Amino acid sequence: MLLSALRPKQWIKNGFVLAALVFSRHLFDVTYVWRSILAAIIFILLSGAVYLINDIFDRENDRRHPEKRNRPIASGRLSVRAALVVAVILIVVSLSSAFSLDTRFGIVSVVYWVQNLAYSFALKHIVILDVMIIASGFLLRAIGGAFAIDVSISSWFILCTMLLSLLIGFVKRRHEISLLEGDASGHRKTLDEYTPAFLDQAIGIVTAGSLVSYALYTMSPEVAEKLGTEYLNLTIPFVIYGLLRYLYLAYTKGQGGDAASTLLGDRPMLINGGLWLLTLVAVLYLGSSGGVSPHE
């Protein structure tokens, strides 16, 4: 019950913490791998606290949602008091561990926590900003992962991460509107401000932006010199398929309300993601021409 409230299916989102490890070409360095794993675990604990706090404040609205009403707190299977106690413990443990790992990582973790707390209290009621806050959570994970192992992270990668996260957020809002129909505003006030037409335009913009920015990133001479390879663009076809497959699942299969479940529950997406990762690792680690190490 408590484990369910911590949403283990969502832990895949903390994979963004490991992005710096892969792109800095330290995937097979034990010290870097260990620090990255610790950073990911810290974000798992911290995000678990965020989910508990958010579910405590949203429990009344969640009870009017056909899917969220089954969550432990909304359904009454987990008491508010117990959830609050666990959340406080997770916050203390995760933040203290974050500063022990790296001061900058600790600061990013605090920003992540404060931002999500502000989201639960007020920011989730501000149209567009609510989605941007969700997206920035992914970005903070990626930046935190870089700080944890003391490597730089490309501004192109930051842009790609932000745009991809916005796509996930806008698709989520569109799914909620479609699922709740006339009761959408009863679950979340901002859903009254969104329309399918606007969300379709926003989804189109950030999808195109994600693809273009990723393509420019892989073909950037600066990135090629930094990573020591000119073949990063071989991963572009997998990104194109992944984006189109995600939109297909959202628009024709009614998915997208839970990005983690959508990604993990679709075999073609899993296969494509695996092929993208294998190609990426092969290009970075086997096709390297000895460029400058990203942390130098």
pLDDT of residue 248: 94
Name the least confident of 49-58, 103-112, 123-132.
Answer: 49-58
Q: Are 135 and 202 in a shared domain?
A: no
3-state secondary structure of 61: helix
pLDDT digits (tens, 9 = 90+) for 186-221: 556 777 788 889 999 999 999 999 999 999 999 988
Q: Are 91 and 179 in a shared domain?
A: no
Q: Are 141 and 212 in a shared domain?
A: no
Q: Are 223 and 294 in a shared domain?
A: yes
Give the Cα separation of 256 and 263 in Å (integer).
Answer: 9
pLDDT of residue 290: 47
Among 153, 185, 216, residue at a domain's last position:
153
- What are the structure tokens assigned to 30, written together? 């034990």
| CA-based torsion, 163, 165, 171, 174: positive or negative | negative
Q: Which helix (H) or strand (E) segment is 254 a member of?
A: none
Ranges of H-type helices in the chain: 2-5, 19-23, 30-62, 72-75, 80-101, 103-121, 129-148, 155-180, 184-187, 196-219, 221-227, 236-252, 259-264, 267-281
What CATH number is given to the structural domain containing 144? 1.10.357.140
CA distances from 276 to 37, 139, 235, 283, 291 (A): 21, 20, 6, 11, 22
pLDDT of residue 203: 95
Q: Are 265 and 120 in a shared domain?
A: no
Question: Who wins on pLDDT, 180 or 254?
Answer: 254
Among 99, 126, 153, residue at a domain's last position:
153
Q: Are 140 and 287 in a shared domain?
A: no
pLDDT of residue 293: 43
pLDDT band at 288 (very low <50, low <70, confident <90, very high): low
Q: Are 13 and 135 in a shared domain?
A: yes
Count the Cβ atoms, other than its own, within 10 Å of residue 201. 12
pLDDT of residue 106: 96
How large is the greatest C-alpha to C-alpha distance in the chain, in angstroms?
58
Residue 159 DSSP label? H
pLDDT band at 109 (very low <50, low <70, confident <90, very high): very high
Give the Cα separation of 99 and 85 in Å (integer).
Answer: 22
**Res 225 pLDDT > 70:** yes
Query: In percent, how much of the chain has pLDDT > 70?
Result: 92
Residues 51/62, Cβ–Cβ less than 8 Å: no
CA distances from 83 to 2, 58, 72, 264 (A): 8, 13, 10, 27
Q: Which amino acid is at 128?
A: I
Minimal CA–CA distance to 39: which of 114, 91, 105? 105
Count the Cβ atoms, other than its own, within 10 Å of residue 103. 11
Residue 35 DSSP label? H
Q: Are 6 and 94 in a shared domain?
A: yes
For residues 94-109, give the mean pLDDT. Answer: 95
pLDDT of residue 180: 67
- What are the structure tokens assigned to 49, written together? 């606290």
State the Cα angle at 196 between 119 and 215, rounded to 5°: 75
Question: Cα–chain-centroid distance for residue 250?
Answer: 17
**Res 252 pLDDT > 50:** yes
pLDDT of residue 108: 96
Q: Are 205 and 121 in a shared domain?
A: no
**Res 270 pLDDT > 70:** yes
Q: Are 9 and 24 in a shared domain?
A: yes
For residue 199, give every residue at least 6 positions away whose Cβ sits within 8 Å of its Cβ, in sequence order, or none.
170, 173, 174, 177
Q: Are 120 and 187 in a shared domain?
A: no
Q: Which amino acid is at 239?
A: V
Q: How many domains does the chain have?
A: 2
**Res 56 pLDDT > 90:** no
**Res 70 pLDDT > 80:** no
pLDDT digits (tens, 9 = 90+) for 9-34: 788 888 889 999 998 889 899 999 99
Mean pLDDT of the chain: 86
Among 153, 168, 193, residue at a domain's last position:
153
Q: Are 145 and 272 in a shared domain?
A: no
pLDDT band at 245 (very low <50, low <70, confident <90, very high): very high
Domain that holds residue 2: 1-153
Name the least confident of 34-48, 52-66, 178-192.
Answer: 178-192
Residues 291/228, Cβ–Cβ less than 8 Å: yes
pLDDT digits (tens, 9 = 90+) for 118-157: 887 888 888 999 999 988 999 999 999 999 999 888 788 8
Question: Cα–chain-centroid distance for residue 158?
Answer: 12
pLDDT band at 236 (very low <50, low <70, confident <90, very high): very high
Residue 152 backbone phi and psi in degrees, to 5: -80, 160
pLDDT of residue 295: 40
